[in-house]
Amino acid sequence: MAIKNAFYAQSGGVTAVINASAAGLLETARAHSDKIGKVYAGRNGIIGALTEDLIDTSAESTEAIRALRHTPSGAFGSCRYKLKSLEDNRREYERLIEVFKAHDIGYFFYNGGGDSADTCLKVSQLAGTLGYPIQAIHVPKTVDNDLPITDCCPGFGSVAKYIAVSMLEASFDVASMAKTSTKVFILEVMGRHAGWIAAAGGLASNEDHEVPIIILFPEVTFDQEKFLAKTDHYVKEYGYCTVVVSEGVKGTDGKFLSDQGLRDAFGHAQLGGVAPVIANIVKNGLGLKYHWGVADYLQRAARHIASGTDVEQAYAMGKAAVEYAIAGHNSVMPTIERISSSPYAWKTGMVELSKVANVEKMMPADFISEDGFGITGKCREYLSPLIEGEDYPPYKNGLPDYVRLKNVAVTKKLAEFKI
């Protein structure tokens, strides 16, 4: 087998551990220099391939690549850009082949979620559609945990840990304040379609620390009366209550609860989150003091409290991608296969990309408690191992010592291409 270069890029919303996948992939590729030549990273995902904006990862030191394992975000830049079908934009596919040919690229690694899997699938079909031999492997990543087949998705475990830890800490805080001040704390978390992240908030209550937590899932239509009754009940029983609300929660009218048509004093439309909406419902319905927070990017960037399990799996997915490529596979994605929950054991698997692209994994109905406000034992059993273990980054002067790569550009060989 002739030595070919590889292309690697990061796509979609970044996570605390997508760079750990990059580390696994790059370190493994370096260890197989008899099969893989240079790994060129796309600057800003597939856009880097289209515009021939390639980064020469061989210019990075061993230490820098190793440091990617503990650095959040996308070291090479990410993008939100979905390739159209071959019929709709043949020009882009031909350009990809031009770039791949010009830089002798035979391996295509794409690190992303559902949309990115679709892009990777289309690239994997280039041999059949346009006669260019390439092996395309998708490396799974998404905080939303909504990729199918794989037991979980790198990026999710760390968000889950961040939300569980934050809910535990905020619950301790509001419990201290409840006598004369705040009685309800509301935290808004990501998850527009699936409640995986919100569910993780439920882990803050366990046999060691019983915490009255209400979870508002996007899967459950918001019922104001039931919610207020539950909040009232918890505050009466425990003195306080915490709420974790998914950004995707909808009302009976099918609209996002956050979409309240807010106007400022001048009548201008204002965007708010869902947490202040829930806070107002609590204030108006029960007259209780509240506080609210919105975790937003903090939750998915929080490498400082990443899950050890998640970091390990993210690294393993990057490593497996290279191994599968070397073994001759195309159009596949490495997966995480759960062997057992307690004690937790898992192994790396593989799935055809066509079974992954554009398929969304929702929360199973039996993960949500009967009243719609909590998680079941089954859900807890699934989630618990994913937040296990701490994998702290090194610190310097009180701050995590995250790496910034040099990101040296590869000399362009082709004419400019407008996307």
Could you say whether residue 303 binds a copy of itself (CB under 8 A)? yes
**By the rule CB under 8 A, 112 interacts with a copy of itself:** no
Using CA atoms, how far residue 117 sits from 81, 196, 407, in Å, is: 12, 20, 25
Comparing CB distances to a copy of itself, the nearer of 72 and 372 is: 72
- Using CB under 8 A as the binding rule, the residues of this chain from 274 to 293 that contact a copy of itself are 275-277, 279-280, 283-284, 291-293
Nearest approach, Cβ of residue 332 and a copy of itself (Å): 26
Q: Tell me: does residue 142 bind a copy of itself (CB under 8 A).
A: no
Buried b (16+ CB within 10 A) or exposed e, 377-387: eebbebbbbbb
**Two tokens, residue 150:** 């794989």
| Alpha-carbon gap, residue 41 to 61, rounded angstroms | 15
Q: Give the 3-state secondary structure of residue 49.
A: helix
262 belongs to the binding site for a copy of itself (CB under 8 A): yes
- Minimum distance from residue 201 beta carbon to a copy of itself (Å): 12
For a copy of itself, the binding residue among 222, 315, 346, 402 (CB under 8 A) is 402
Euclidean distance between CA atoms 419 and 415, whole angstroms: 13
Helix (H, G, I), strand (E, B) or coil at 111: strand
176 binds a copy of itself (CB under 8 A): yes
Q: Is 144 one of the annotated binding-site residues? A: yes
The CB-of-402 to a copy of itself minimum distance in angstroms stands at 6
Among 144, 146, 310, 391, the active-site one is 144
Q: Is 350 annotated as a binding residue?
A: no
CA-CA distances (angstroms) from residue 224 to 167, 194, 228, 282?
22, 20, 6, 9
Looking at 61-69, 109-117, 297-305, 311-319, which segment touches a copy of itself (CB under 8 A)? 297-305
Residue 53 is among the residues annotated as catalytic for this protein: no
Instruction: Return the residue of 173, 223, 232, 352 that touches a copy of itself, per CB under 8 A.
Output: 173
CB of 55 vs a copy of itself, minimal distance in Å: 13
Tokens representing residue 385 in the block: 């191992």
Q: Does 50 bind a copy of itself (CB under 8 A)?
A: no
Pick one of 198, 387, 405, 410: the residue that binds a copy of itself (CB under 8 A).
387
Q: How many CB atoms lie under 10 A from the CB of residue 236?
A: 9
Q: Residue 161 interacts with a copy of itself (CB under 8 A)?
A: yes
Closest Cα to residue 388, out of 233, 196, 164, 150? 164
Does 362 belong to an annotated binding site? no
Q: Of the candidates 21, 28, 78, 145, which one interacts with a copy of itself according to CB under 8 A?
A: 78
Cα 15 from Cα 80, distance rounded (Å): 14
Q: Identify which of 198, 249, 253 has the alpha carbon closest to the alpha carbon of residue 369.
A: 198
Among 20, 23, 41, 47, binds a copy of itself (CB under 8 A): 47
* Single residue of 237, 296, 360, 371 touching a copy of itself by CB under 8 A: 296
Per CB under 8 A, 63 contacts a copy of itself = no
DSSP secondary-structure letter at 96? H
Using the contact rule CB under 8 A, the part of the chain among 58-66, 318-326, 371-379, 384-392 near a copy of itself is: 384-392
Q: If we measure between CA atoms, which residue out of 41, 16, 149 comes closest to residue 103?
A: 41
Q: Which amino acid belongs to residue 216?
A: L
Integer-rounded Cα Rg, in Å, for the chain is 23
159 part of the interface to a copy of itself, by CB under 8 A: no
Provide the phi-psi class of 49: left if phi over 0, else alpha when psi is between -120 and 50, else beta.
Answer: alpha
249 part of the interface to a copy of itself, by CB under 8 A: no
Cα gap 80→84, rounded to integer Å: 13
Q: Which stretch binds a copy of itself (CB under 8 A): 122-130, 260-268, 314-322, 407-415?
A: 260-268
Q: Contact region for a copy of itself (CB under 8 A) — 32-40, 213-221, 392-400, 410-418? A: 392-400
User: Quick check: 149 binds a copy of itself (CB under 8 A)?
Assistant: no
As given in the structure block, the two tokens for residue 361 are 């994994």
- 177 interacts with a copy of itself by CB under 8 A: yes
CB of 294 to a copy of itself, least distance (A): 5
Asked if 202 and 189 touch (Cβ cutoff 8 Å), the reply is no
- Say whether 390 counts as a known binding-site residue: no
Distance from C-alpha of 5 to C-alpha of 55, rounded to nearest angstrom: 12
Binding-site residues for diphosphate sit at 13
Would you name the residues annotated as active-site residues? Answer: 144
